Amino acid sequence: MEQAAEIQEVEQTVVVSEANSEKEKEMEITERKGITRPPLNFIAILKDSETPIDKSSPEKLCDQLYAGIFLKRNKLKFFVDKGSNKNGFVLFARQLSIRLDDTGKYWIWTEEKNASGEDIEVAELKKAYCSWLEISGKIETIDLSPQTLYEIVFVIKIEDPSVWDFMVRLVIVTPSKKWLSRYENLKGKPSNEWFEILVGEYRTSPGDVGLVELRMEEYTSKLSKRGISVQCAIIRPK
């Protein structure tokens, strides 16, 4: 409750009050500096944030939103795209559902630094034979920006791409249960480097409200999957 109250206090410094000339003046200066107002629903999204919010100025608040704020440490990150002022999310591996990782027989967890220098946990499929590949995540459309086209990607790393000479299926399941799928062969991807693999695109709309699911999967029993690491999934405005 205290965190939500602090965020609301910051929101009041961002929104211009017609009856308050000082705030109007402050907002004019802010706009000349190129600072964008936060999205309208950022207060609701940040109410349970585990990261302290800098409410000292609209500029510092916006900078923090652009850099991203952890809602769940090492699991879920919220950010605002500076160019479009739209909401985006990073679902780290601990926030994803990974099939067959509960026993430790196939998947192990290691800690690495991501591109922002943050320590995060990544999931690695060991060299042991595994025929199932199923990685999925979910996001509520209420947390996304309205009427916005989103691009969804997984960030993965492959130890030896030559053993991945087959198609994986990438799927977006919309709230209305429409499946948007594509296939991609991972054989020609970089070795031991993090890269993005496109899941697909999804546009938010008032008529399609609920959970959006993203998936990467391959179930052929004769194909061995090994040496793949999963860092996160990114849902970003395009």
Q: Which residues contact 70 (CB under 8 A, 6 or more apart)?
A: 49, 50, 51, 76, 77, 78
Q: Please report the pLDDT score of residue 102 as a whole number.
A: 62
Residues of the chain with confidence (pLDDT) below 70: 1-36, 40, 101-103, 127-129
Q: Measured between alpha carbons, how far is 107 from 123 in angstroms, rounded to an integer? A: 6
Boundaries of every domain in the chain: 2-67, 91-237
Helix/strand/coil for 190: coil
Edge-to-edge strand ranges of the sheet holding 97-98: 97-98, 133-140, 211-218, 167-173, 179-185
**pLDDT single digits (tens) 57-113:** 888 888 999 999 999 888 999 999 998 999 999 999 999 999 876 667 788 999 988
Residues in a beta bridge with 171 = 181, 215
Helix/strand/coil for 44: helix
Q: Measured between alpha carbons, how far is 158 from 227 in angstroms, rounded to an integer? A: 6
Helix/strand/coil for 47: coil
Q: What is the DSSP letter of 20?
A: -
Q: Which CATH class is domain 91-237?
A: mainly beta
> Cα 171 to the chain's mean position, in Å?
16
Q: Please report the pLDDT score of residue 91 as a whole number.
A: 97
**pLDDT single digits (tens) 190-201:** 999 999 999 999
Q: Please report the pLDDT score of residue 35 as a whole number.
A: 47
**How many CB atoms are closer than 10 A to CB 79?**
18
Q: Please report the pLDDT score of residue 54 as a whole number.
A: 86
